Amino acid sequence: MDDQVADLMHSPHQALFTTATIGHVDLANRVALAPMTRVSATADGLPTDRIASYYRVFAEGGFALLITEGLYIDDQTSQGYLFQPGIANAAHAAGWQRVVDGVHDRGAKFFAQLMHAGSQSQGNPHTTITWGPSAVRPKGEQLAMYRGAGPFEVPQAMTTEQIGQVRAAFVNAARNARDAGFDGVEIHGANGYLLDAFLTDYLNTRTDEYGGHTAGRVRLAAEVCHDVASAVGDDIAVGIRISQGKVSDNHHRWAGGEEDAAAIFGALGDTGIHYIHTTEYRALAPAFAERGKSLAQLAKQHSKLPVIANGHLDDPRDAAAMIESGAADLVALAKPALANRDWPHRVRSGVPLSPDVPRDLFGPVANLKDWEVEAVQSTASARRST
Check residue 374 and give its pLDDT: 43
Check residue 290 and give its pLDDT: 79
Establish if 386 belongs to a structural domain. Answer: no
- Residue type at position 202: Y
Using a 10 angstrom Cβ sphere, with 0-12 exposed, 13-18 middle and 19 or more buried, the burial of residue 290 is exposed
Establish if 22 belongs to a structural domain. Answer: yes
Q: How far is CA 263 from the centre of its chain?
A: 21
Residues annotated as part of the active site: 193
The stretches in the chain having pLDDT less than 50 are 1, 4-9, 362-386
Establish if 376 belongs to a structural domain. Answer: yes
Check residue 360 and give its pLDDT: 57
Establish if 5 belongs to a structural domain. Answer: no
Q: By residue range, what is the domain housing residue 201?
A: 18-381
Distances (CA, A) of 171 to 35, 96, 181, 186, 238: 20, 17, 16, 12, 11
Nearest alpha-carbon partner for 54 in 359, 355, 327, 363: 363
d(CA 226, CA 199): 16
Establish if 146 belongs to a structural domain. Answer: yes
- Asked whether the CA dihedral 315, 318, 324, 329 is positive or negative, the reply is negative
Classified as helix, coil or strand, 106 is coil
Check residue 176 and give its pLDDT: 98
Bin 141: left if φ > 0, else alpha if -120 < ψ < 50, else beta: beta
User: Residues 6 or more apart from 184 whose CB is under 8 A from it?
Assistant: 22, 23, 25, 109, 110, 111, 112, 236, 237, 238, 239, 274
Please tell me the pTM assigned to this model.
0.92
d(CA 362, CA 377): 21
Query: How many domains are there within the chain?
Result: 1
Check residue 384 and give its pLDDT: 41
Check residue 145 and give its pLDDT: 85
Nearest alpha-carbon partner for 130 in 72, 86, 89, 90: 72
Residue 5's CB is within 10 A of a number of other CB atoms, namely: 9
Establish if 6 belongs to a structural domain. Answer: no
CATH of the domain at 207: 3.20.20.70
Establish if 92 belongs to a structural domain. Answer: yes
Check residue 371 and give its pLDDT: 35
- Residue type at position 260: D
Establish if 178 belongs to a structural domain. Answer: yes
